[in-house]
Chains A and B, each alone.
Chain A
Amino acid sequence: MEEVKLLGWWMSPFSRRVELALKLKGVGYEYIEQDLANKSQLLLEYNPVHKKVPVLVHNGKTMAESLVILEYIDETWPNNPILPRNPYEKAMARFWAQFIEEKCNGGLWKIMWCKDEEERGRLVEEASHCFRTLEGELKGNKFFGGDEIGMVDIAANFIGYWLGVVQEVSGMELVTRDKFPVLCKWMDEFVEHSVVKETLPPRDKLHAEFEARLGAPSWKY
């Protein structure tokens, strides 16, 4: 009997990535919500190095880091693959997932916490280039994975959904429909996808949380 557990946090795009992959493959799991302000013994024991969510537990074996977990899920449950089988295409998917993590998400994070107007302007300019590059990678396809969602789409989930809320709350106009029509079309397709829909945190709750946190001097955890 397969036993799959996921330690996650409702607001975390990282733990939502794992949920999305499990749901795409029809894998049943027990979800254990974590309180990141008061980390549980379980979390600290399962992820002593980073003490973060998500953590996947499969038949007692624990794994951390969402992109690492996605690869494990794809290898263990090969139906509805999220990575290409061709080694070169697989390598490119990994490259883009890392690019999204480091340059796009990384850039957004810096912008969200930058209090200096001029510096923020510079960061937004830099991030714009990254989003332009990412947009180019869609190459006329519905998703980064082609006709279906793949690892790159899953990795881009923050951009697909969370970013819209962040922009609303902060007034930041980075990825707008007139500047990035192709990327925004991808965002529409992403959030409308039948399985993705099930994994998105409620928008009003997310809005309220971002409002509270973006006003604070720093993200608490």
Chain B
Amino acid sequence: MSKNELVILDCWASPFCMRVKIALAEKGLDYEARPEDLFGGKSDLLLTSNPIYKKVPVFLHDGKPLCESSVIVSYIDETWPAPALLPSTPYERSQARFWADYIDKKLFDSSAAIWKASGDDAMEGAKQEFVEVLKVLEGALGEKEYFAGDAFGYVDILAIPITCWFLASERFGNLKVEAECPKLSAWIKRCMAKETVAKVVPDPEKIYEFVINLRKMFGIA
């Protein structure tokens, strides 16, 4: 068979789905994105191919499912090696995976904690944590164009989609990422200027509207 049928079970707002779509675009691969209605009713395919987490993204390569976005992006890089997303040496790859792990553990949750916060104390704590995470990432970026150096790659792909959710955190938290972390902010603009990213990552205003609805659904304010 092996006609390379690529499917992603998708949600337009999910930064984790965006990661996979950017990786596929970087590799010049065609794929079908099937939107899932995460609140109305998940499809049978989603429930059977990701029975453990029941989440998007699910990536299907000729029908074989894979879950967890970082795992999927690594798989895409290994299966279609050019252009490389991960650096070439084991040590540089270990650094990329370290930052991928940090981003997975901290970036989205710290950003979301701001618009989920109820009460001044929770808000202050959430803001401090978020800014701290941003500063650590800015430190990791240093003077480089991208996290691994001159080329856009794995860590950038995992982090950039989450940044479209920052506007919501900025508005609810009354803070500005650019003021706190100008270099990281410049990196965001640099990534967003890439066609593969711009086509996939939505306007932060749309995410802001999405967050307003999420807050209503969760009963936050």
A interface residues, Cβ below 8 angstroms from B: 49, 58, 61, 63-65, 67-69, 71-72, 75-76, 87-88, 90-92, 94-95, 98-99, 103, 133
Using A65-B101, A71-B97, A95-B66 as known contacts, list a sample of 8 further A-B pairs with CB atoms less than 8 Å apart, ordered by residue number in A. A63-B98, A65-B98, A68-B97, A72-B90, A75-B93, A88-B64, A98-B71, A133-B52
The 6 closest A-B CB pairs, nearest first, are: A75-B90, A91-B75, A72-B94, A87-B78, A68-B97, A63-B94
> Contacts of B74 on A, CB cut-off 8 Å?
91, 94
Complex CA–CA separation, A103 to B64 (angstroms): 23
The answer to whether B68 and A98 touch across the interface, beta carbons within 8 angstroms, is yes
B67 within 8 A of A: yes
The answer to whether A91 and B71 touch across the interface, beta carbons within 8 angstroms, is yes
Complex CA–CA separation, A75 to B61 (angstroms): 25
B interface residues, Cβ below 8 angstroms from A: 52, 61, 64, 66-68, 71-72, 74-75, 78-79, 90-91, 93-95, 97-98, 101-102, 136
Check A88/B61 contact, CB under 8 A, given A94-B71, A98-B71. yes
> Contacts of A103 on B, CB cut-off 8 Å?
52
Complex CA–CA separation, A90 to B72 (angstroms): 11
> Contacts of A72 on B, CB cut-off 8 Å?
90-91, 93-94
The answer to whether B91 and A63 touch across the interface, beta carbons within 8 angstroms, is yes
The answer to whether A87 and B79 touch across the interface, beta carbons within 8 angstroms, is yes
Among the interface residues B61, B93, B97, B102, which one has the most CB atoms of the partner chain A within 10 A? B97
Complex CA–CA separation, A77 to B10 (angstroms): 38
Q: Of the candidates A49, A65, A99, which one forms a contact with B52 in the assembled complex, judged by CB atoms under 8 Å apart?
A: A99
Complex CA–CA separation, A61 to B90 (angstroms): 11
Quick one: closest A residue to B106, CB to CB? A49
Q: Name 26 A/B residue pairs within 8 A (Cβ), A-sorted.
A: A49-B102, A58-B91, A63-B91, A63-B98, A64-B98, A67-B101, A68-B97, A68-B98, A69-B94, A71-B93, A71-B97, A72-B91, A87-B79, A88-B61, A88-B64, A88-B75, A90-B75, A90-B78, A91-B66, A91-B72, A91-B74, A91-B75, A94-B68, A95-B68, A98-B71, A103-B52
> Contacts of B78 on A, CB cut-off 8 Å?
87, 90-91
- Give the dominant DSSP class at B's interface: helix
The answer to whether A87 and B75 touch across the interface, beta carbons within 8 angstroms, is yes
Closest Cβ of chain A to B146, distance in Å, is 19
Closest Cβ of chain A to B87, distance in Å, is 12
The answer to whether B136 and A49 touch across the interface, beta carbons within 8 angstroms, is yes
Complex CA–CA separation, A71 to B90 (angstroms): 8
> Contacts of A95 on B, CB cut-off 8 Å?
66-68, 71
The answer to whether A61 and B71 touch across the interface, beta carbons within 8 angstroms, is no
Closest Cβ of chain B to A143, distance in Å, is 21
Quick one: closest B residue to A67, CB to CB? B101
Closest Cβ of chain A to B79, distance in Å, is 5
Quick one: closest B residue to A94, CB to CB? B71
Check A76/B67 contact, CB under 8 A, given A71-B97, A88-B75, A91-B72. no
The answer to whether B136 and A65 touch across the interface, beta carbons within 8 angstroms, is no
Closest Cβ of chain A to B196, distance in Å, is 22
